[in-house]
Amino acid sequence: MPLTEQDLALMRRCYLFAGMAEADYREVVEYAHTVRLTSGQTLFQQDTPFTALYWVAEGMIRLYRVSPHGEEKVIDLIGPGRSFAEAVMFMGGNYPVCASALAPSRLIAIDGVRLRQWLAQDTARCFRLMAVMSMRMHKLVGDIEQLTLMKGTDRLLQYLLDHADPDEAGRQVVELEAPKLVIASRLGIKPETFSRLLHKLSDQRLIEVHENRVYLLDPERMLRVGHAGLAAE
């Protein structure tokens, strides 16, 4: 299925393409097509050969690794406007994680082999893209270092603050688009700890939880609490 003009405009904002000349961008999207997934459907398995990188137009994608014992660890949750698997294009080989849809999803897949061939035609193109990806990688490494130093409570507070958007009434709200079990795995805490921390924050009148919506009652105080820390888990 061909890309719509809206897809092209929104995907243009992705960090991979934002710095491209318009002519280059239009060439790249010639290698793209739409992929639709049902909820729970697998996009690719860990250690399978790389074929494409992806940009999420609608839905939610779960990236996770499976241990030799069959245990799953959520690496990231990818929502609309974000891309994934781009680093594998330069690394070559196989996907290092599994990817599956948490909800009905529509993705834009860009043929990795053809994109690599296009980059190889002009080394300047390749270096520009690698520079953008390097800056992105440095930011992600910084985020990981910060998260590893945080306690579970702090990671939850940071997650809520990072994912909050104003609703119609101007209140800051987080839509829990993934199951709590998945979000807990993403934050590196147990599901029962995740639920307990939500109750603790509710008791302290920092948040209100209504089904899959979390309202931030006092974001500024949440920031202060995050720096100071709550009771140890």
Residues 224 and 195 in one domain: yes
Burial class (CB in 10 A: 0-12, 13-18, 19+), 75: middle
Domain end among 143, 165, 182: 143
The pTM of this model reads 0.68
Range of the domain at 79: 5-143
Residues 204 and 94 in one domain: no
Residues 120 and 17 in one domain: yes
Q: What is the pLDDT of residue 127?
A: 78
Residues 96 and 154 in one domain: no
Each of the 233 residues of the chain gets a pLDDT tens digit; together they read 678 888 899 898 888 888 888 999 999 999 999 999 999 999 999 999 999 999 999 999 999 998 888 888 888 889 888 899 988 887 778 999 999 999 999 999 999 989 988 988 888 887 777 777 777 666 655 655 655 656 788 888 888 888 888 888 888 998 887 788 888 887 888 888 888 999 999 999 999 998 888 999 988 888 877 655 544 44
Residue 29 per-residue DSSP state: G
Residues 138 and 198 in one domain: no
Measured distance CA(121)–CA(74) in Å, rounded: 37
Residue 233 domain-assigned (yes or no): no
Residues 104 and 175 in one domain: no
